[in-house]
């Protein structure tokens, strides 16, 4: 695995998030996108078998962004991978665009599911993992859920079934950035140990620094021979990489203005 490339791409994704989010001229989900840059980069430039030139390849690994509001990071990654063009990227949150604030299923653009309603992508994903097992495919299904998303009961419904069906081709990343829409996760439903919770649901459970691509890739590449699904709880920072956004939940969904960019000296990767 080329860690240098993954790190380089993480940075490019971060800058693309900021540029596209700025250029759309509206509020966008910055915080929960910036916490995903290293996970997505590790997946698309390291861990996953996929071919942007053949996005419907039946032998591809499947990626599903269950926390749909991370879309800016997702489309930035698809752009950096070559699934979508700069022109397509520039339509983000424009009228009648295919690329809006939550992913819309678009297999040719590398988007497997429509999401935005939390706790659903993971359920769909285990169906895909079950189907791949039935086809005796060696491909894997990777999913990213948010820690706030784990408030949804359906996440745990899916976890139970993933374990029961022995879906060892299923890897779940939890973007544990500690915030959800209305505040700190611990303040909303308590300080939960998601790693332990998934462990008790029968998962191989790991915890990593979600901004350390070496840790992410090492753990995600571990060969597990116990027929269990895997969860990797990634400790991340909401708004990572932008000082005034980091751990500031106002940046869950907010507008990046020209004034802010100039005042803060942000480098937003203008093409």
Partner 1 sequence: MYYDLNPKISKMYARMGPRATYGSSMYTALKENEDFLLLSADLGKACGLDRLKAEFPNQFINCGIAEQNMVAFASGLAREGETVFASSFAPFLSMRASEHVRMNLGYMNEPVVLVAAGSGLSLGFLGNSHFGLEDVSVMRAIPGMTVICPADAGSIPKFIKAAAELKKPVYMRLVGVPGSPIAYEEDYNLEIGKINKVLSKGNDVAIIASGSSVAQSIIASRELEKASISVSVFDCHTIKPLDKNRLQKIFNTFRILITVEEHTLIGGLYSAISEYKNYENFTNKLVGIGIKDTWVKTGSYDFMIKDCGLDGDSIAKRIQAEIKN
Residue numbers of the site for partner 1 (CB under 8 A)?
105, 112-115, 117, 119-120, 123-132, 134-135, 153-154, 157-158, 160-161, 164-165
Cα–Cα distance for residue pair 257/260, rounded to 1 Å? 5
Tell the smallest beta-carbon distance from residue 131 to partner 1 (Å): 3
Nearer to partner 1, 33 or 158 (CB): 158
Tell the smallest beta-carbon distance from residue 145 to partner 1 (Å): 13
Nearer to partner 1, 104 or 260 (CB): 104
Q: Are 104 and 111 in contact (CB under 8 A)?
A: yes
Residue 56: burial class (beta carbons within 10 Å; 0-12, 13-18, 19+): exposed
Beta bridge partners of 180: 183
Nearer to partner 1, 174 or 217 (CB): 174
Tell the smallest beta-carbon distance from residue 122 to partner 1 (Å): 8
Nearer to partner 1, 49 or 184 (CB): 49
Per the listing, tokens 């021979």 go with: 225
Question: Residues 187, 189, 194, CA angle at the centre, nearest 5°?
Answer: 110
* Residue 268 CB coordination number (10 Å): 17
Q: What are phi and psi of 231, to 5 degrees?
A: -120, 140
Nearer to partner 1, 46 or 119 (CB): 119
Tell the smallest beta-carbon distance from residue 55 to partner 1 (Å): 14
In sequence order, the 6+-apart residues with CB closer than 8 A to the CB of 198 are 159, 172, 174, 205, 231, 233
For 33, 72, 177, 185, the CA distances from 247, given in Å and listed in that order, are 13, 18, 8, 12
Tell the smallest beta-carbon distance from residue 228 to partner 1 (Å): 17
Nearer to partner 1, 155 or 220 (CB): 155
- Both tokens assigned to 197: 């919770």
């Amino acid at each position: 695995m080329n860690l240098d490339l993954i790190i380089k791409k993480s940075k490019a994704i971060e800058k693309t998030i900021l540029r596209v989010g700025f250029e759309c001229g509206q509020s966008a989900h910055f915080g929960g996108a910036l916490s995903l840059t290293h996970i997505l980069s590790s997946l698309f430039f390291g861990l996953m078998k996929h071919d942007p030139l053949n996005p419907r390849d039946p032998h591809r690994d499947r990626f599903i962004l269950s926390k749909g509001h991370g879309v800016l990071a997702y489309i930035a990654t698809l752009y950096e991978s070559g699934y979508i063009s700069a022109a397509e990227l520039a339509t983000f949150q424009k009228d009648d665009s295919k690329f809006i604030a939550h992913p819309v299923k678009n297999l040719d653009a590398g988007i497997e599911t429509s999401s935005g309603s939390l706790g659903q992508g993971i359920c769909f994903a285990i169906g895909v993992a079950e189907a791949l097992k039935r086809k005796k495919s060696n491909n894997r299904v990777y999913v990213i859920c948010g820690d706030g998303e784990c408030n949804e009961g359906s996440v745990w419904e899916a976890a139970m079934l993933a374990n029961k069906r022995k879906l060892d081709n299923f890897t779940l990343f939890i973007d544990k950035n500690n915030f959800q829409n209305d505040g700190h996760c611990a303040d909303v439903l308590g300080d939960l140990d998601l790693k332990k919770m998934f462990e008790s649901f029968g998962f191989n459970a790991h915890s990593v620094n979600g901004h350390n691509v070496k840790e992410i890739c090492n753990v995600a590449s571990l060969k597990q021979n116990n027929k269990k699904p895997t969860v990797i709880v990634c400790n991340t920072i909401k708004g990572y990489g932008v000082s005034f956004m980091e751990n500031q939940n106002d940046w869950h969904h907010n507008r990046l203005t020209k004034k802010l960019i100039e005042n803060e000296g942000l480098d937003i990767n203008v093409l």
